Amino acid sequence: MRYALTTLFCSSIFAVQAAIACPTVSEPLSLQAEFADPDRHKVHRQGIWAVWYDPAVFDHSDAKVTADGLDAARCRALTVNKMVDPPSARAGLYTNIYLHDPEADDGLDDAFGNGVGTNAFDMPFMTLPLGAHADRANLSHEGFHIFQYSASSPGFAYDGDSAWYIETTAEWFALQDNPTREDAYATVGGIAAMPHLALWQSWDRGQPGDPEHWMLQTRQYGMHQFLQYLVETAGLSPATVTQDFFTGTRALPQQVIAAAIGHDQMAHSWADYAAMLTASTIDGQGSPMPGWLMTTAQRDYALAERDWALEDDPLAGGIAPVSAQIDLAVSAGDWVSPPRSLRPRPWGYNVVSLINMDGAYQVTLDVYDPATMPLRLIVRRGSEWQLARIASGSMLDLTGADAAYIIVANTPEVYRGHATRAYQLRLD
């Protein structure tokens, strides 16, 4: 992140580096450090990095571990992801990294957190608290932000409806270290908690009156899972995820992705992803679907993280993982729609719960341009979830279902804004 949130993940060394030639530093670099005291702090120079530390608090081995992790991130960023070095390196300067223990007198500002900032020389620097300095995936995440500093694309600015992509891509980049780690998808609970929000909702960038809650304002961290889903199932290349930071494009990241894989592919992938995420998180029961990214342990960790956030700071009005409910014992044949406040925004989705079902039903969707509102049905029988692509007019076999939900995905050819979309469903 850009400068205060600590996101800690562990990882293994990148296997890919054995097969690629990592970029070297062709010119000698010079030191220019705003926050270090040369009489007190020591510095470890490695590659493009100058790692500063107080020898009374950290050892040289700590600085070496940090530099090794950042070197690994640089290697992958510049080769696989087609990124470029930060402006400091291109200006002949080391990029400064400050190791900091807020509990110790180490000569650094106690306000330093875990993240990246810009110094008085208009160059990026990084501060790493004790523990985070040796966490390989954390170094990948924060290191990725260093390489974003040379971005030249107005469409990828850290603002408006593109701001989400800054943290999403950093988290996605870090995910590649160890996607099987238990906390690899710790932040996806914020997506499933309020699924009607736009894909690009981030921080306070939404509709006026949206809840100001940590879990919702930082849900863009969890969107790394959708990027990974697109890479694994829809043919999105890792280079496409990141290279347009540097092409000067005015297109938003979501537009770039849609152009790369096609709007229809992105729409169907979004609906499938929403269905699988719902099946994984809606009641905490059942086994992962084939092709789904999260293990049961990762699901449980994400739900615990969500519950912790809500316990620490209760959300006024509560979460809304389900937008509407159809009781088929009493409402079969009736039109049902979500409340206005929960209507899906662009590239958001609704979860409609079906209860008291028995047998087969025909679903009807009433909406303008139904082709841009794909439907999915997820059904759990015992511990097994099943997913079906459905459309208005489809027959739904709910015989023996223990749980069933319809996913209503809003996928217009609109890639900005937070306008809601009205629709209604009927089951006969």
Q: Which two tokens stand for residue 157?
A: 């600015």
15-20-25 Cα angle (round to 5): 115
d(CA 63, CA 10): 17
pTM, 2 dp: 0.92
d(CA 174, CA 163): 18
Q: How many CA atoms within 13 Å lie on the side-chain side of 351?
A: 29
Beta strand 384-390 with 49-53: parallel, antiparallel or unpaired? unpaired
Q: Which two tokens stand for residue 89?
A: 């390196």
For residue 409, what are the CA distances in angstroms to 20, 190, 224?
40, 17, 19
d(CA 428, CA 328): 9
Any residues with CB less than 8 A from the CB of 97 and at least 6 apart, and which?
49, 50, 51, 52, 66, 67, 70, 125, 126, 127, 128
d(CA 182, CA 32): 39
Domains contained in the chain, CATH given: 1-150 (3.40.30), 321-427 (2.60.120.380)
d(CA 257, CA 212): 28
User: Could you read off the pLDDT tens digit of each residue along the chain, which spans 428 residues?
Assistant: 332 322 222 333 334 444 567 888 878 999 999 999 999 999 999 999 999 999 999 999 999 999 999 999 999 999 999 999 999 999 999 999 999 999 999 999 999 999 999 999 999 999 999 999 999 999 999 999 999 999 999 999 999 999 999 999 999 999 998 899 999 999 999 999 999 999 999 987 888 888 888 888 889 999 999 999 999 999 999 999 999 999 999 999 999 999 999 999 999 999 999 999 999 999 888 899 988 999 999 999 999 999 999 998 898 888 999 999 999 999 999 999 999 999 999 999 999 999 999 999 999 999 999 999 999 999 999 999 999 999 999 999 999 999 999 999 999 999 999 999 999 999 99
- At 359 the three-state DSSP class reads coil
Query: What DSSP string describes 98-159?
Result: EEE-TTS--SS-TT--SEEEE-TTS-EEEEEETTGGG-HHHHHHHHHHHHHTT---GGG-SS
- At 320 the three-state DSSP class reads coil
d(CA 205, CA 108): 33
